[in-house]
A = this chain, B = another copy of it.
Amino acid sequence: MPNPTAAILIIGDEILTGRTREGNAWFLAQELVKVGIDLRQIRVIGDDHATIVAAVRELSVAHDQLFTSGGIGPTHDDITADAVADAFGRTIGVREDARAILAAHYAARGLEFTEARLRMARIPEGATLIDNPVSSAPGFSVENCHVMAGVPNIFQAMVAGLLPRLTGGAPLRSRSLQLMVPEATIADALRALAEAHPEASFGSYPFVTEGRYGTNLVVRSTDPAALEGAFAELQATFPEGQ
């Protein structure tokens, strides 16, 4: 059976204006590989209601799982929860269990439970909460769409709680070999290997270090035996590799 597929939707003007370097998609990409969910697309869009609604609809239909990051805080530019509710045709309002989680968190810290903070208890109807062990304001899942915070340490904590709930597949495994030659010099041999091993994928990634050209060759497969077979041939083809 093929692995389930996924997309990641990053929401935030601060990424599109170059103010912030996105890192949540990179983190989640590595986690999805481990649990056997095939990431097919990462998309970054701005804080615009219609754009978020359209992207959530398109990506949730086209993939088994959709993960979003950003836009669920207390300020006026946090519009993801309302947009996701619209995308799935659901109502949204303050939910009692989410409100209680926030109330307990602020009470324990002597912080005021303001109107702005109450905004973070607005959850689409029928959603499942995603635990936030960092700052308590929960994420949520609606159908196959998992809505999480943009702040990196909160995003990572939410992913840790969410992923065990999802059905994965065979983890994608990889082996790599580094050669200190330009990639063009090994292109023909690598193509022949790739054609001989359709059960694995072969990637070639050039780099320059201290003025010398090098190439990282990466073999990937969800089948451990196929991976080892293909990697053994790669090593035999390029015995100088490390």
Query: Which of B30, B33, B184 meets A117, CB within 8 Å?
Result: B184
Does the CB pair B184–A114 fall under 8 Å?
A: yes
- Kindly supply a per-residue 1/0 record for chain A positions 177-206, scoring 1 wherever the CB is within 8 Å of any chain B CB and 0 otherwise: 000001111111011001100000111111
By a CB distance below 8 angstroms, the chain B residues around A51 are 40
Q: Whole-angstrom distance from the CB of A204 to the nearest CB of chain B?
A: 4
By a CB distance below 8 angstroms, the chain B residues around A111 are 182
Known: A74-B184, A75-B191. A33 touches B17 (CB 8 A): yes
Query: Which of B23, B151, B218 meets A14, CB within 8 Å?
Result: B218
The interface of chain A, by Cβ under 8 A from chain B, is 10, 13-23, 25-33, 39-47, 51, 73-77, 111-112, 114-117, 119-120, 151, 153, 172, 174, 182-188, 190-191, 194-195, 201-208, 218, 220
By a CB distance below 8 angstroms, the chain B residues around A23 are 21
Cα distance A17–B32 in the bound complex, in angstroms: 8
By a CB distance below 8 angstroms, the chain B residues around A153 are 208
Known: A74-B184, A201-B13. A45 touches B39 (CB 8 A): no
Cα distance A19–B174 in the bound complex, in angstroms: 10
Q: List 12 A-B contacts (CB under 8 A).
A: A10-B42, A15-B42, A17-B39, A18-B31, A19-B218, A22-B22, A73-B204, A75-B183, A76-B190, A77-B194, A114-B185, A117-B187
Cα distance A116–B185 in the bound complex, in angstroms: 8
